[in-house]
Structure 1
Amino acid sequence: MPTVVEVVSLLAAVVATWTGVLVLRRSRTSPLALPLAVMMFGASSWATARALLHVARASVPGTVVLHYLVFPGAAAVTAAAYWYFVVLTGRRLSRRAAVLLLVHPTLLLAVLASNPWHEAFLRVAVDGGTVQVGVGPLYWLHSAYCYVLIGAGIALALAAMVRAVPGHRHVFVVAALAATVPAVGNVLTTLLAARPERPHLTPVFFLVSAAIWSWVERFGGHSATVPVSTRQVLEVLDDAVVVLDPRGRVLDANPAAHALLGDLQGVRLQEDGEALPRPARVAIDALRSGPGTLTTDSGAVLDVRVTPLTDAVGRAAGTVVVMRDVTELERLRAELVDQATRDGLTGLHNRRALEERLAAAADDAAASGRPLSVALLDVDHFKAVNDAHGHGVGDQVLAEVGRVLAESTGPGETSARLGGEEFVLLLPGLDPGAAARRAQDLRTRCAQIAVPARTGTVCVTVSAGVAALHPGGSPDDLLRTADEAMYAAKAAGRDRVACAGDPVRG
C-alpha cells in the first residue's frame, strides 16, 4: 500500500501539472507565465518521481533511477522560481543570466549520469533487494545553491514589494509564500534525514504551493501582469519630481526632473546658487518661492509644489518638490483672459476691461495726485455709412479706427471700444491740455482712413470729447463729462475736439 505522503505527492503532481497547463496559455500575453509554468512542471516531475518510488520498490534499477529523477525537477523549480521573481520585480532576464541559470541543471545532469562511478552526489547501496541511499558532498552543494537562489528571489520580491504601488503589494506576498512553502518542506526532510524510514515532505508541501498557484491562476490572475512599482510611476510622469533630504541634498529625481533641471544627483540645493549648474537654480528658486508659479530664464512657466516629509514621530525627513511645465497652459489662460477683455472686431479692450482699468487709474490718481484724462471718440455719420455701403464696410471702418487708436496708445494707456461707434482712450498722467492734443492727433489720423467699397472709397471723420478727473470725482463722472464734451463737438459741426469747460476746437 502506498503511504499517505506518496498519495499526496501524486496529487501534488496532478495539481501542479494542471496549473502549469493553465498558466502556459498566457505565455504570449504575460512575461510571468512561462517561468511559472516551468516551475509547476518541475514541481510535477519532482513530486511524480517521489510518488512512484513506492511502486518501484520491487525493482532495484527502477528505484535507483527514480531517486536520480527527483533532482532535475528540483533544479527546474529552483531556476524557474528565480526567473519568475526577476520578472515579477519588473526586470528582464538577460541572455547572460539565462545561461548562468542553465549551468546548474546542466552540471546536475552530468553529475547524476556519472554518479555510479564517483558517488559524490548520491551513495547508493543495495542490501538484500533493498536500496539504501545516502548523500555526498555534491548533494549538499546542490542543496545550498537551491536555497541561496530561492532566498535571493524571495529577497528581490520583498524589496520590490516595498516599492510597489499598494494595490499590487499582495502579489509579492502570494509569490513569496508559494515559493517558501516547498523550501520549508525540504528543510524539514533534511532535518529528519537521520531516521531510517524518514518521510520526504517536500512533495507534500508542493501540494500546498501548487494549490496556491492554482487558486491565483483561477481567481487572482497574477500571471497576467507584472506589478507596477512607484519607480515606474515616477518614470512615466511628465511632472518633475525631486526628493531632498533634510539638508537639502538631492536624494532622487525622476527623468522629467533631469530633463528639466539637468543632472541633480547628489547636489545640495541649499548651497550658494552660483556654485550650482544653471538648471539647478530653478529648483533653488522653487524651494525659496514655495508653492505657486515660477518663470525660468528661458521663459518656461512652472507650477511648483513643495511638500515637507516627516517620519513617524514628526521629525523632518526631507522635502518633495514637484514642478509641472504649465507654459502652454498659462499661454492659453492668458489668451482666454485676453479674449474675454478684448473687442472681437477691433482688438481693443472692451467696456468691461475699460471699467476695471479706469477704476484702478482713478484710485492711483487720487492717491498720487497725478492727473487723469480720457478722450471719447465717436465716428461721424456712421449710420449713413452702414445704410449706404452695408454693415461689412461699416465693420471695416470701425476696425480701421481701432487700428489708429491701438497704434496711438502709449505705455500705461488704454484704448477701448465702448460699443457701436464709440471709442475711449484712457490717458493717465496727462492734463486736459495734453489730452486734447492727443485727441486732435487721433482726429487728424482718422480723417486719413479710406475704406474701399463698391461705390468708391469711404472716408470718415470723428468727433472727440476730452475730460479730466476732478478731485472727489468718480470714473462714471469722468466718462459722463467726456461724453457731454463729445456731443458738444458734434453740435459744433463734427470732426472736432471739445474739452470739457473749454471752447470747441476744430
Structure 2
Amino acid sequence: MLTLVEAVSLLAAVVATATGILVLRRRQSSPLALPLAVMMFGASLWATARALLPVAAPSPPATVTLHFLVFPGAAAVAGATFWYFVVLSGRRLTRRGAALLLVHPTLLFVVLVADPWHEAFLHVAIEGTTVDVSAGPLYWVHTAYCYALIATGIVLALGAMVRAVPRHRRVYVVATLAATIPMVGNILTTLVATRSDDLHLTPVFFLVSAAIWWWVERFGQHSATVPVSTRQVLEVLEDAVVVLDPLGRVLDANPAARTLLAGPDGTGLDDGTTDAPWRAHLASAPADDPGTLTTASGTVLDVRVTPMTDAVGRAAGTVVVLRDVTELERLRAVLVDQATRDGLTGLHNRRALVQRLATAVEESTSTGRPLSVVLVDVDHFKAVNDEHGHAVGDRVLVEVAGALAAATGPGETAARLGGEELVLLLPGMTADEAAGRAQDLRARVGRIAVPTASAPVRPTLSAGVAALAPGWSADDLLRAADDAMYAAKAAGRDRVARASEPTPA
C-alpha cells in the first residue's frame, strides 16, 4: 500500500512527465526546451521508481530493479540541469561538452549492470522478501558528481543573472529555485531522513519543482525565452562602446569598439596608450559636447561621453560611445553642396553667393584686405534662346560657367546670380587684378563654340568689375559691379568695364 510520501512521489512523476511533454513541443523554437524536457523525464523516472517500491516489496528482484532505476533518473536530472543552465547563461553546449556530459551516464550504466558482482555502487542483502540496500563508495562518487554538476550550473546562472537586463533576471530566479528545491530534498534525505526511517524526500520535492516548471511553461512560456545579458546587447551593437576608469584606462570594450578603434597592429584601444586620436579628441573636446572626430584614415566618428558615479557620487569612470558617421557626413556634405549649387551650371547659387559675399565684406572691412567682384552677363543670350532654342541656350550657359569655374582660384567663388548673369568673388584682389582676371575670362569664353543645326554659337560676355570701397555694403559692391557691366554693354559688349571710384565724402 502506498504511503503519503509515495503517493506524493507518484503525483510528482505525473506532473514532471506532463511538463516534459509540454516543453518538448517547443524544442524547435527554444534551445531551453530540450534540456528542460530531459530534466523532467529524469525526475519522473526517479520519482516513479521511488513511489513503486512499496508495491514491489513482495518481489525482491523488482525491488532491487527499482532501486537501481533511481540513479539513471538522477543522472539525467543532474546532466540536464547543467545543460539547461549553460544555455540559460547565454552559452552553447558544444559537441565536446555534450560528449563529456554523456560520460557519467554511460559509466553509471556499466557500473549498475555489473554491480551484482562488485557491489561497489550498492550493497544489496536479501533475506526472504526483505531487501536491505546500503551505499557503496561509487554511490558517493556519483552523488558528489551530481551535486557538483548542478552547483556549477547554478553558479553559471547566478553569474549570468548579474549581467542580464533587469526584466529578464526573474527568469534566472525561477530557474535556480526550481533546480535547487530537489537538491535540497536529496541532501535532507541523504543526511537526515535515512538515519531514521528511510524516508526519501527527494521525489516529494520534485513535486514542488515540477509544479513550478508546469506553471511557468503553462502561463509564462519560460522555455521560449533565453534571457538577454547586457554583454549580449553590447556585442550586437554596431556603435563602439568603451568603458574607461577614472584615470582614462580602458576597462571594457565591445567588439565594434575593438574593430573601429584598434590600430592596424591591434594597438590603441586596450594597451594603455594615450596617443590614440580618439583619446586626444576626448581630452581636448568640451565635456558636454565632444562632437565628431575624423581619424587619419578618414573615418568620421560621432562621439558621446557619459560620466559614471558610484552610490556616493564619486567618479567611477566614463562610458564613451562612438558611431561611424562617415557615410552620413558624406551625404550631409552632398546635400549641403546641392543646396548651395545651381542645378544647371554647377556653380554656387545666389543664396550661397549672398552668404559668402557678406562674410568676405565683413572680413575685408575688419582687416583692410582688398575685395573685388566681377559680374558677367552673356551677350545676346535672349537671341540665342529665340533662334536656337533653350537647349542650346542652356549649353551656352554651361560652357561659360565652365570657363568661369576654370578661372576661379583657391578661396574664390564662382556663382550664378540669375538668368545669364554670373559672378566671380575675388577676396584679396584689387580692382586692377580683378580686371585682368575678367579679361582672361573673356578670352576663355571667346574660344567657346557651341554646335547647332546651322552655324555654331560663339558667345561673348560683358563684365563689370568693382572693388569694395570704405563704407560699402555687399549690396553696394554688387550694384557697382552691375553698373559697370551695363556700361560695358552700352560701350558695344564683349568687353570689361570698371566701376567708377566713389566720390570721397
> Which stretch shifts more, 487-496 or 390-399?
487-496
Shift of residue 26 of structure 1? 2.2
Q: 1:194 offset after TM fit, Å?
A: 4.4
Of 258, 268, 272 in structure 2, the residue corresponding to residue 268 of structure 1 is: 272
User: Which is further off, 141-150 or 152-161?
Assistant: 141-150
Partners of 1:435 and 1:342 lie apart in 2 by: 23
Report the alpha carbon displacement of residue 296 of structure 1 after superposing the two structures with TM: 1.3
Offset of 1:127 from its aligned partner? 4.9
- Mean Cα displacement is larger for which, 365-374 or 322-331? 322-331
Q: Please name the residue that 1:82 is paired with.
A: 82
Normalised TM-score (structure 2): 0.93
Matched, 1:246 2:241: no
Per-residue deviation, 1:340? 0.1
1:276 aligned residue: none
Contact 1:164 1:228 in 2 (8 A): yes
Contact kept, 8 Å, 1:86 with 1:92, in 2: the verdict is yes
Distance 1:473 1:286 in 2: 42
Q: Who is 1:277 aligned against? A: none
Runs of 5+ consecutive residues of structure 1 not aligned to the other structure: 274-280
Task: Give, in angstroms, the shift of residue 99 of structure 1.
Answer: 2.2
What corresponds to 1:491 in structure 2?
Answer: 490
- In structure 1, distance between residues paired with 2:69 and 2:194: 22
CA contact (8 A) 1:178 1:213 kept: yes
- Relative distance call for 1:352 and 1:30 in structure 2 (3 A) is same
Partner SS for 2:222: coil
Amino acid across the alignment from 2:273: L
Once the two structures are TM-superposed, the CA of residue 226 in structure 1 deviates from its matched residue by 2.6
Deviation at 1:366, TM superposition (A): 0.7
Q: Which moved more, 1:282-291 or 1:461-470?
A: 282-291
* Map 1:105-116 → 2, pairs under 5 A: 105-116=105-116
RMSD: 1.8
Q: Deviations over 1:241-284 (max 9, x none)?
A: 222222332222222222221435642134xx3xxxxxxx1332
Distance 1:155 1:354, change over 3 A: same
Q: What are the residue-to-residue correspondences of 1:200-349 with 2, within 5 Å?
A: 200-260=200-260, 261-262=262-263, 263-264=266-267, 266-270=270-274, 273=275, 281-290=276-285, 291-349=290-348
Which aligned runs of 4 or more in structure 1 are off by greater than 4 angstroms? Answer: none
1-structure distance, mates of 2:416, 2:96: 75
Distance in 2 (CA, whole Å) between partners of 1:428 and 1:99 is 79
Indicate conservation of the 8 Å contact 1:287/1:321, yes or no: no
Q: How far, CA to CA, are the matches of 1:211 and 1:354 in structure 2?
A: 78
SS of aligned partner of 2:450: strand
1:18 aligns to what?
Answer: 18
In 2, Cα distance between equivalents of 1:449 and 1:116: 110
Which residue in the other structure is 1:408 paired with?
407
**Equivalent residue for 1:278?**
none
CA contact (8 A) 2:278 2:293 kept: no
- 2:174 matched residue in structure 1: 174
Contact 1:248 1:269 survives alignment (8 Å): no
How far the C-alpha of 1:129 sits from its partner, in A, is 3.2
The residue that corresponds to 1:72 in the other structure is: 72
Residue in structure 2 matched with residue 163 of structure 1 by the alignment? 163
Q: Would the aligned equivalents of 2:63 and 2:131 in 1 still touch at CA under 8 Å?
A: yes
CA distance in 1, matches of 2:453, 2:79: 90
CA distance 1:351–1:20, change in 2 (3 Å): same
* Alpha-carbon distance in structure 2 between the residues aligned to 1:60 and 1:313: 69
Task: After TM superposition, list the pairs within 5 Å mapping 1:137-152 onto structure 2.
Answer: 137-152=137-152
Give distance in 2, aligned partners of 1:269 and 1:239. 21
- Residue 128 of structure 1, CA deviation: 5.8
Contact 1:446 1:462 in 2 (8 A): yes
Report the TM-score when normalising by structure 1. Answer: 0.93
Name the amino acid aligned to 1:218: R
Per-residue deviation, 1:337: 0.2
Tell me how far 1:53 sits from its aligned partner: 1.3
Amino acid at match of 1:187: I
Residues 105-150 of structure 1 show CA distances to partners (whole Å, capped at 9, x for unaligned) of: 2222233233334433333334563333332332222221111110
Contact kept? 1:192, 1:198, Cα under 8 Å = no
Which structure 2 residues correspond to residues 92-107 of structure 1 after superposition, within 5 A? Answer: 92-107=92-107
Can you give the 5+ residue segments of structure 2 that lack an aligned partner in the other structure? none
